Structure 1
């Protein structure tokens, strides 16, 4: 079996899909994207064509090694995301060739269902009570929300109090038996993060996500040692090497993104590395259906898995959602806050190729927002 073609598709609202076809007719799908840099990653994917065309798609590890180490300059979000989507597609092909879901190829399932959480609110959380209630009514047992919108270098007493009030409103709806995760989105400085984490302790967050930007990972140890709330991070880390320092710093939850961190192959290795530190896995996934399907395969075969993010109804997906590009959306049906294991071969989904091709004719140019402080300086989004 040989690879004969590699295609990419810009799919609204902000995704990039790739399609790898073999000479046997087996097709694999992946989702290589950096949000806000989809066109850049698209170019990077096609730079790999000369390494892939004519090669055996079942040599996944060999192809991964060549793609990641075959050039002098390595790593980073663009290259790692391009590799990630290709890697997902190769695993999809391998599963379809062998007539088995990918998690069976990873050693088989260690659990019978996958716990999921949903998002509440947008970039600046408001109307928290009603939004959380809708997620509870939908059967979810955990939600995640941003702690605040734009934060100044040193948050005021009012800004701290407002963030806590929103978390308290969410906890009041959730009660003591459901979980609340709180995302700082890298918006806080170390000083503000320390104050916010301490103030949020009474609402018992499941974890606080990305309290600092990844460039300040060397400061995470101090936060981890001073906080009783579990610290999570990893959506902007792209390899085992990137994760090692934050694991050593004492994080409780690792959050690799399977469309950024080298795909199924590398994220699986990150999970194993995290397990040696007693750290749980909660893959980052505010993306499309292929990325989510890849996450589910890893979740099923990972002993230290905690919970899975998913983007159904997220504020980014207005007008287009991840079920729009599936032949059978029922594969992502929730039951009691969980998804049942997909049983189909490969990634376990059937992509609606006609819908994807139509979407690509329109494309998209989604960009990350640019925020500024009152004095005109750049603010973290």
Structure 2
């Protein structure tokens, strides 16, 4: 069995899928995408495919090593995401060939269901409370929300009080038996992050995500030491070596993305590294159905897994949802805030190829918003 063809599909709302077909007719699917740079990743897939054509698809680790290290210049979000999507597809093929879910090939499941959380928005505390209440009614046990909208790198007292008010509203709707996490998106500086963490500490957030930007990683020890709030980060890190410094600094939760950080193969290794530091994994995944399916396979087989991000109902996906490109939505039906074990082989989903090919004819050119402060200077989105 050899790899005969590699194709990519640019599909709304902002995703890129890849399809690998073998000489035996087995097909695997992956989701290699950098949000806002999907076209660039598509070109990277074309280049990497020059190596893959004619290869045995079951030699997954061999291919991962070559695809990741075969060029003199390595790493970065574009290359790592391209490798990730190809890796998904190869694991999908392996599961179908062996007649087993990918989680079984990773050593078997260590849990019977995977806890997921829902994203909630709303700029006003009252809106937050209403949206959280809707998720509670739907059976969710955890939510995540933005800590703020546009905010100054050195936040004002009013801006910090607004974060506290939003979190207070969410906590009031959740009670003490459910969890709420907040995402700061690296929008504030180191000193601002420390102030925010101290301000929200009594509300006991599940974790605070991306308190500072990756380029400020050297200051993480002082941010971690500012409060008892668990810190989480990792969506903008692409290799296990990138996680050594934050784990050493005491970050409690790592959030690699299976579509950015080298795929299933590397996500698994990052989780093992985190385990050696007593940290948990909560994979980043506000993406499409293939990415989530791949991430769930790792979650079922990972002992130090905490919770899974997922994008059902997220504001990015108004032009398409997780179920838009699969024939059966069952794997994306949450039961009491959890994804149930899926025994189907490979990634456990059947991609609607006709829908994907039709969507690719339209494509997309999604770009993230560009924000500025009131003085016209650049603001982190």
> Aligned partners of 2:124, 2:187: CA distance in 1, in Å?
12
> Aligned partners of 2:126, 2:341: CA distance in 1, in Å?
34
**TM-score, structure 2 length as denominator?**
0.99
1:192 to partner: Cα distance: 1.1
1:125 to partner: Cα distance: 8.0
Counterpart of 1:64 in structure 2 is 64
Counterpart of 1:314 in structure 2 is 314
Counterpart of 1:14 in structure 2 is 14
1:126 to partner: Cα distance: 7.1
Count of aligned residue pairs for this structure pair: 381
Counterpart of 2:368 in structure 1 is 368
Residue by residue over 1:106-126, the C-alpha shift from the partner in whole angstroms, topping out at 9 and shown as x without a partner, is 000000100000000168987
**TM-score, structure 1 length as denominator?**
0.99
Q: The residue matched to 1:324 in structure 2 has which SS?
A: coil
> Aligned partners of 2:346, 2:281: CA distance in 1, in Å?
22
> Aligned partners of 2:209, 2:338: CA distance in 1, in Å?
21
1:226 to partner: Cα distance: 1.9
Counterpart of 2:25 in structure 1 is 25
8 Å CA contact 2:282, 2:309 repeated in 1 = yes
> Aligned partners of 1:137, 1:364: CA distance in 2, in Å?
34
> Aligned partners of 1:188, 1:321: CA distance in 2, in Å?
31
Matched, 1:35 2:35: yes
Residue by residue over 1:95-146, the C-alpha shift from the partner in whole angstroms, topping out at 9 and shown as x without a partner, is 0000000000000000010000000016898711111111111110000000
Q: Decide whether aligned partners of structure 1 residues 121 and 238 sit closer, same or farther in structure 2, where only a CA change above 3 A counts.
A: same
- Stretches of structure 2 lacking an aligned partner (at least 5 in a row): none
Matched, 1:341 2:363: no
Question: Larger deviation: 167-176 or 221-230?
Answer: 221-230
Q: The residue matched to 1:271 in structure 2 has which SS?
A: helix
Question: Larger deviation: 129-138 or 26-35?
Answer: 129-138
Q: Decide whether aligned partners of structure 1 residues 282 and 236 sit closer, same or farther in structure 2, where only a CA change above 3 A counts.
A: same
8 Å CA contact 1:35, 1:366 repeated in 2 = yes
Q: The residue matched to 2:71 in structure 1 has which SS?
A: coil
> Aligned partners of 2:188, 2:203: CA distance in 1, in Å?
19
Q: The residue matched to 1:176 in structure 2 has which SS?
A: coil
1:31 to partner: Cα distance: 0.3
8 Å CA contact 1:125, 1:148 repeated in 2 = no
> Aligned partners of 2:202, 2:324: CA distance in 1, in Å?
40
Counterpart of 1:188 in structure 2 is 188
Q: The residue matched to 1:21 in structure 2 has which SS?
A: strand
8 Å CA contact 1:124, 1:148 repeated in 2 = no
1:185 to partner: Cα distance: 0.8
8 Å CA contact 1:296, 1:341 repeated in 2 = no
1:10 to partner: Cα distance: 0.5
**1:17-166 matches, cutoff 5 A:** 17-121=17-121, 127-166=127-166
Q: The residue matched to 1:226 in structure 2 has which SS?
A: coil
1:319 to partner: Cα distance: 2.5
> Aligned partners of 2:229, 2:377: CA distance in 1, in Å?
31
- Stretches of structure 1 lacking an aligned partner (at least 5 in a row): none
8 Å CA contact 1:123, 1:146 repeated in 2 = no
> Aligned partners of 1:192, 1:308: CA distance in 2, in Å?
28
> Aligned partners of 2:56, 2:76: CA distance in 1, in Å?
26
Q: The residue matched to 1:8 in structure 2 has which SS?
A: strand
1:191 to partner: Cα distance: 1.3
Q: The residue matched to 1:359 in structure 2 has which SS?
A: helix
Residue by residue over 1:10-65, the C-alpha shift from the partner in whole angstroms, topping out at 9 and shown as x without a partner, is 11110000000001110000000000000000000110111000000000000000
Counterpart of 1:226 in structure 2 is 226
Counterpart of 2:291 in structure 1 is 291
1:202 to partner: Cα distance: 1.5
Alignment RMSD (CA, Å): 1.1
Provide runs of 4+ in structure 1 moved above 6 Å: 122-126
Residue by residue over 1:133-178, the C-alpha shift from the partner in whole angstroms, topping out at 9 and shown as x without a partner, is 1111111000000000011121111111111101000000000000
8 Å CA contact 2:322, 2:332 repeated in 1 = no
> Aligned partners of 1:126, 1:262: CA distance in 2, in Å?
40
Counterpart of 1:217 in structure 2 is 217
Q: Decide whether aligned partners of structure 1 residues 40 and 58 sit closer, same or farther in structure 2, where only a CA change above 3 A counts.
A: same
Counterpart of 2:331 in structure 1 is 331
